[in-house]
Amino acid sequence: MKMSKLFVQTLREFPSDAEVISHKMLVRAGYIRKLTSGVYNYLPLMWRVLKKVENIVREEMDNAGAQELLMPFVQPKELWEESGRWEVYGKELMRLRDRHNREMCLGPTHEEIITSIARDGLKSYKQMPVNLYQIQSKFRDEVRPRFGLLRGREFIMKDAYSFDTTQEGLEKEYENMAQAYTRIFKRCGLNTKMVQSDSGAIGGSVSHEFMVITDTDAGENDVFYCDSCDYSANSNHAVSNLPTAKTVGDFASAQIIDTPNTHTIEELCEFLNIPASLIVKTLVYIVDKKPVLALIRGDKQVEETKLLNAVGGIEIRIATAGEIIEMLEVNGFKAEPGFIGPMGLKEYNGYPITVVADETVKELKNFVIGVNQIDKHGVGYNWGAELQLPKIVTDLRLVEAGELCPTCGQPLKVTRGIEVGNIFQLGTKYSAPMNAVYLDQNGKTQPYVMGCYGIGISRTAAAAVEAHYDENGIKWPLAIAPYHAVVIPVSTKDEQQMKVAEDIYKTLIKHGVEAVLDDREERPGVKFKDADLIGFPYRITVGKGIADGVVEFKVRETCEMSNISPEQAAEIVVTAVNNLKS
Ligand code: ATP
Ligand code: MG
């Protein structure tokens, strides 16, 4: 490809609306252009990268025994009603109507469709196990599309679905996919960590995510991990053992006392001269309009996904101060957020109030708690005496770094990660409600035991930029670079330089290297800047040195430069590219 013909417009500046590196770089280097919020054009360079990621995924999925198909992007409401997800999927599901007023949606994921395909064709236990996958655009009307390709509304995903007759079969395929994923991300030049995670809207019980570890803002997930063993988990799923804390208060008896101006846990601790671990903190959440109180030890935080799982629902948010005051009022109390407690709170917004307690509060004795009176708290309270322990007691706690590993007891560490893929053991979550069954050895109908396995193709490409860049631009891993090398004649007017550059370019192409010849009549500085920004893994510059038989060879990843012969330069690149194929 001649640079003069390549459809690419690099920009002088980073786009002002971009927050993270991959978004900034991909826009400035001419890979993507925004069409509308969370929707991007993939320009020729980006499309080459995406096709390479896709091909790696395709090769490894095929090698792992999966079969590719392609399902429609538009899906009918009826299948989503069968699974029960039409009601519960929420606003991320882009719903529309056709000319006959039939309701449809844009596919955010394809469990319903694949299950209906299996139901039609997979009738006997003899046909299993089978794993079917596709690579396709998805649409999710994300609340906060941001970070360019990392969280788009339209994005490209590989989604695979396995069908087995037994849980053991599913577990075997799950492991098979985990291994394929490890190979895929390694080939894409990414170091990933496989971490335990919450199963969320897709459902099922066991699931893991593949995280690209990055300490930048681009990592939307907190990953807790242990250096002493292999425990690692997304914060939405992580658990820990707590170091010992004071959980039995010294109060002589249960009573309500004055605690003036103690609106926060810190102020209350200071006033009473106690540690926060003696306080039962009451937090108010709104889950799909319904009021939920979460009780947790004063020194701990609530993990919202865990709370959402505990009560069931789609959207969760913390209540505003105004809502809390109103809730108190409706139930006959005149108080403020800092003094709230669960007693006597029955309903709000026309819904009964659900109370959930974190496990940490269960063991507290002689504790302190809000009693819905301004400037007062209950002290020396006990479950079963002054108030009842809520019916739902479960783990709601957000793990913190330094707490102890649930497996080996060593302190946990935390880092941020970009989720590039995930694997789920679905079980019969879709097959049972959709009546997707086969005949077993005894001629009895059984629902399939399913798994599903996703990889964000466009997110993986963007994550590769997050992991490989410097202030001058992208440093693509060779396997997914849009082109492997650029050949730059310093002066296009110099016949000898042009001739050598063209010869190298032709040699590279002949040996299967994807090369670009920068034949533009631009200043060398401009060409170098573009080469670094676009991120060609190798740069061969033909300048004055050619009189001495050398060209300048630059490796983008390390920025190492050397003067070597044109033949040597070509050979290094050809060898590296051939190694990719072996
Ligand atoms: P997240 O928690 O990041 O929203 P998810 O759990 O919704 O991801 P899945 O539904 O399992 O993700 O989708 C499989 C893969 O698709 C994810 O691992 C991720 O790589 C990718 N993906 C999901 N949502 C987006 C998005 N909005 N933009 C780009 N890629 C996405
Ligand atoms: Mg999501």
Instruction: Report d(CA 418, CA 214) in Å as an integer.
Output: 7
Same domain, yes or no: 273 and 317: yes
Mutate to test the pocket of ligand 1, among 197, 458, 459, 465 (most ligand atoms within 8 A of CB): 459
d(CA 375, CA 439): 67
The minimum-distance atom of ligand 1 relative to the CA of 455 is 15
**Atom 3 of ligand 1, nearest CA residue:** 419
Q: Is 147 in the pocket of ligand 1 (CB under 6 A)?
A: no
Residue finishing a domain among 340, 374, 394: 394
Q: How does pLDDT run across 62-116, given as a tens digit for each residue? A: 999 999 999 999 999 999 999 999 988 889 999 999 999 999 999 999 999 999 9
Please tell me the distance between residue 208's alpha carbon and the centre of ligand 1 in angstroms.
13
pLDDT at res. 203: 53
Both tokens assigned to 305: 């996904």
Each residue of 469-503: b (16+ CB within 10 Å) or e? beeebbbbbbbbbbbbbbbbbbebebeebbebbee
Residue 515 resides in a domain? yes
Do 431 and 389 belong together in one domain? Answer: no
Could you tell me if 14 and 537 are in contact, meaning their C-beta atoms sit under 8 angstroms apart?
no
Task: State which residues of the chain have pLDDT below 70.
Answer: 200-204, 582
Same domain? 40 vs 181:
yes
Is residue 260 reached through a cis peptide bond, with omega within 30 degrees of 0 on the bond before it?
no
Are 450 and 554 contained in the same domain? no
Can you give the CATH number for the domain in which 566 is found?
3.40.50.800
- Residue 450 sits in the same domain as residue 519: no
CA–centroid distance, 148 to ligand 1, in Å, is 13
CA of 138 to the centre of ligand 1 (A): 10
Same domain, yes or no: 44 and 145: yes
Q: Find the DSSP H helices in 274-410.
A: 304-311, 321-330, 359-362
Domain termination site, one of 374, 394, 414: 394
The ligand that comes nearest to the alpha carbon of residue 92 is 2
User: How many distinct structural domains can be found in the chain?
Assistant: 3
Residue 91 lies in a domain: yes
Among the listed residues 196, 266, 275, 195, the one whose alpha carbon sits nearest the alpha carbon of residue 243: 275
Find out whether the beta carbon of 50 lies less than 6 Å from any atom of ligand 1. Answer: no
Strand partners of residue 32: 42
Ramachandran class of 305: left when φ > 0, alpha when ψ lies in -120 to 50, beta otherwise: alpha
Rounded distance from Cα 378 to ligand 1 centre (Å): 45
Q: State residue 204's pLDDT score.
A: 57
Atom of ligand 1 nearest to the CA of 424: 11
Report pLDDT for 550. 97
Is the distance from the beta carbon of residue 421 to the nearest atom of ligand 1 less than 6 Å?
yes
CATH number, residue 376: 3.90.960.10
| The predicted structure's pLDDT at residue 199 | 78
Q: Looking at the CA of 235, name the nearest ligand.
A: 1
With a 6 Å cutoff on the Cβ, whether 22 touches ligand 1 is no
- C-alpha span between 202 and 140 (Å, rounded): 14
Q: Are residues 388 and 459 in the same domain?
A: no
Q: Are 152 and 94 in contact (CB under 8 A)?
A: no
Same domain membership, residue 65 and residue 125: yes
Residue 404 lies in a domain: no
User: CA triplet 275, 280, 284: central angle to 5 degrees?
Assistant: 130
Ligand whose nearest atom lies closest to the CA of 211: 1
Tell whether 477 is covered by a domain.
Answer: no
- Taken in order 384, 388, 393, 398, is the CA torsion positive or negative? negative
Q: Point out the domain boundary residue: 466, 493, 517.
A: 466
CA–CA gap between residue 543 and residue 500 (Å, rounded): 10
Could you give the CA distance from residue 156 to residue 159 in angstroms, rounded to a whole number? 10
Q: Are residues 524 and 573 in the same domain?
A: yes
Q: Are residues 458 and 497 in the same domain?
A: no
CATH number at residue 44: 3.30.930.10
Ligand 1 pocket check for 454: Cβ under 6 Å: yes
Kindly state whether residues 435 and 526 are assigned to the same domain. Answer: no
Tell me, in angstroms, the distance from the centre of ligand 2 to residue 201's CA.
Answer: 9
| Token duo for residue 495 | 């016949």
Q: Give me ligand 1 centre to Cα 454, in Å.
A: 8
Tokens coding 470? 């410097």
Helix and strand tally (H, E) in the chain?
A: 14, 33
Residue 462 to residues 11, 149, 474, Cα–Cα distance (Å): 18, 6, 10
Position 258 scores a pLDDT of 97
Rg, C-alpha atoms of the chain: 29
Q: How far is CA 280 from the centre of its chain?
A: 33
Return d(Cα 194, Cα 442) in angstroms, integer. 39
The rounded distance, in Å, linking the Cα atoms of 457 and 463 is 10
Virtual CA dihedral for 378, 382, 387, 393, nearest 10 degrees?
Answer: 120
pLDDT at 387: 96
224 within domain boundaries: no
User: For residue 579, how far is its CA from the centre of ligand 2 (angstroms)?
Assistant: 36
Q: Does residue 140 contact residue 134 with C-beta atoms inside 8 Å?
A: no
What pLDDT score was predicted for residue 314? Answer: 81
Q: Name the closest-CA residue to atom 19, ligand 1.
A: 456
- Measure the CA–CA gap between 212 and 189, rounded to whole angstroms: 11
In a domain, residue 55? The reply is yes
| Residues 428, 447 contacting (CB under 8 angstroms) | yes
Pocket test of ligand 1: the residue of 157, 161, 314 to mutate, having most ligand atoms within 8 Å of its CB, is: 157
Q: What is the residue with the minimal CA distance to atom 13 of ligand 1?
A: 454
Tokens of 212: 């690209």
**109 CB near ligand 1 (under 6 Å):** yes
The CB-based long-range contact list for 272-276 (8 Å cut-off, 24+ gap) reads 272/368, 272/377, 272/379, 274/246, 274/249, 274/368, 275/245, 275/246, 275/299
Indicate if ligand 1 lies below 6 Å from the C-beta of 200: yes
In the reported structure, the alpha carbon of residue 161 is separated from the centroid of ligand 1 by a whole-number distance in angstroms of: 16
Confirm whether 213 is domain-assigned: no
411 occurs within a structural domain: no
458 lines ligand 1 (CB under 6 A): yes
Q: Closest Cα to atom 25, ligand 1: which residue?
A: 151
Quote the pTM value: 0.93
Range 521-545 burial, b when 16+ CB lie within 10 A, else e = ebeeeebbbbbbbbbbbbbbbbbee
Task: Give 393-428 as a DSSP string.
Answer: EE--BPP-TTSBPTTT-SBPEEEEEEEEEEEEEEET
Q: Other C-beta atoms within 10 Å of 221: how many?
A: 17
Residue (of 173, 236, 123) closest to 425 by Cα position: 173
Residue 422 Cβ < 6 Å to ligand 1: yes
Pairing of strands 290-297, 221-225: unpaired
Which residue range(s) make up the domain with 572? 483-581
Closest Cα to atom 8, ligand 1: which residue? 419
239-279 pLDDT, tens per residue?
Answer: 999 999 999 999 999 999 999 999 999 999 999 999 999 99
Cα(78) to centroid of ligand 2, in Å?
23
405: burial class by Cβ within 10 Å (0-12, 13-18, 19+)?
buried
37/184 same-domain check: yes
Ligand nearest to the CA of residue 144, numbered in listed order: 1
